[in-house]
Structure 1
Amino acid sequence: MPVRILIADDNSFIREGMKIILSSYSDFEVVATVENGAEAVEYCLAHEVDIALLDIRMPVMNGVEATRSIAEKTKTKPFILTTFDDDEYILDAIQAGARGYLLKNNEPDRIRDAIRSVVAEHRVFQDVVLDKLKTTLTQSPGAAPSTAEKPASSSIPAEETASPASVKADSDSKIDRSLFTERELEVMALIARGLSNKEISKKLYISEGTVANYITSVLNKTALEHRTQIAIYYLTGSLRSEDE
């Protein structure tokens, strides 16, 4: 059975052009083209769609809002295909449930391969998108040097066990919460919000070294390599992302 694809874009030229391109692949079937996020959600609720290709800026309902509704209410995999690589859009889209984020300036074969990867249960984020996300998470005001992630010691001191009421791990997060302590979950949640080690230490009333130790503990438990991957994991529940 071919992959059933919906295309949502308020530019009719792009909609029809993308339809022609994707329809040229024998394993793809473009089942609908719509001009806004609300129409995309409505169609996915009423029909079986494998992939919803969504632009970010659309009237009535934008791509991020459509992604959230489609991810929550249907089995369709939302995939952002846009000209916008602004940091705020990337983070919002991933948090909303986007399974992929590519820019429209990619070659058709790259878009084709990305769609196939998402169908195969991978997540696909373009290199430039991952770089911008990493910048967002590591270059926020007051960001500590990357070396701060190295543990100051091999143990995690029991500092300030009571957490501020304003800092709580997101109960809707898709990760396996049983793997982590409550403090680790709080640190992960703040990383996903783009806070630096210094900012996290102020939020939780612990030292930056202790924050680094919690991050190291999370990395060890998940086999992830850096805080950007922690953020993506916390937001999506996925321990791997395909950027090819």
Structure 2
Amino acid sequence: MTVRVVVADDQQLIRAGFVRLLEPEPDVEVVGEAADGRAAVELCRTARPDVVLMDIRMPVLDGIAATREVTASTGARVVVLTTYDRDEYVFSALEAGASGFLLKDAPPEELVRAIHVVAAGESLLAPAVTTRLVGELVAARARHRDAERQLARLTPREREVLPLLARGLSNAEIAARLHLGETTVKTHVAAVLDKLGVRDRVQAVVFAYEAGIVTPGR
């Protein structure tokens, strides 16, 4: 079975390089090229590729947004290709529906393999990306477990104080909110800092956000 491929990249030389790389493959056919994200989406709707090689940084519509539209409106599966290996791109690409993520300096045989793996309905991440991604998830879970242990040390009243402290309220404002004396609140705040093992109110704010006690915009 021949895998139909669309190449989307705003740099013509890179697009041409991918096309030349794939031309000798007997079971891969490049059915179109796109120089921006919007053109890639429209091309996928008409050419109906099996796989899209999608750059991230493109004009008109970036590769993440284009991936989201392609996966939502066509049956194509997307392999995101980039020179950048920053974690936020990996997470964004996966959230947008990408099935694969490769760096552009990957060996040619790895790219061809990625196309076949993704076309077969599986997912693929570059080895270096996978290692780092798993490491981040493990670290995040470890931080979450540590946060749970630290939060368990707080009294019910101290757990009421922490989110208010994290939202930037002063001792006087916390006291008014909880109908407590300001001296009592000062004692609770000191206990919270001590039990969480943080140096000051700023670190307590960071802890509260990392632990999910408060979220941005709330």
Measure how far apart 1:198 and its partner are: 8.8
Aligned position for 1:54: 54
Whether contact under 8 Å (1:144, 1:198) holds in the other structure is no
**Mapped pair 1:22 → 2:22:** yes
Cα RMSD, aligned residues only = 3.0
* SS of corresponding position for 2:93: helix
* Structural mapping, 1:177-192, within 5 Å: none
Higher CA-based Rg: 2
Aligned position for 1:230: none
Q: What whole-Å deviation, never above 9, does each CA across 1:144-171 have from its counterpart, x for those lacking one?
A: 458x49x99xxxxxxxxxxxxxxxxxxx
Q: What whole-Å deviation, never above 9, does each CA across 1:174-211 have from its counterpart, x for those lacking one?
A: xxxxxxxxxxxxxxxxxxxxxx999346359xxxxxxx
**Mapped pair 1:76 → 2:76:** yes
Measure how far apart 1:94 and its partner are: 0.3
Higher normalized helix content (fraction of residues): 2
The separation in 1 between residues aligned to 2:208 and 2:116, in whole angstroms, is: 37
Q: Number of aligned pairs?
A: 160
Measure how far apart 1:137 and its partner are: 3.7
Give identity over the alignment, percent.
36
Pick from 202, 216, 240 the counterpart of residue 213 of structure 2: 202
Q: 1:45 to 1:202 in 2, by over 3 A?
A: same
* Structural mapping, 1:1-244, within 5 Å: 1-139=1-139, 144-145=142-143, 148=145, 199-200=210-211, 202=213
User: So what's the TM-score if we normalise by structure 1?
Assistant: 0.58
User: So what's the TM-score if we normalise by structure 2?
Assistant: 0.65
Q: What whole-Å deviation, never above 9, does each CA across 1:87-118 have from its counterpart, x for those lacking one?
A: 11111000000000001111111111111111
Q: What whole-Å deviation, never above 9, does each CA across 1:45-94 have from its counterpart, x for those lacking one?
A: 12221001000101111110010000100001011011111111111000
The separation in 2 between residues aligned to 1:36 and 1:24, in whole angstroms, is: 26
Q: Which sections of structure 2, spanning at least 5 residues, go unmatched?
A: 150-206
The separation in 2 between residues aligned to 1:126 and 1:12, in whole angstroms, is: 24
The separation in 2 between residues aligned to 1:22 and 1:39, in whole angstroms, is: 21
Q: 1:201 to 1:13 in 2, by over 3 A?
A: closer
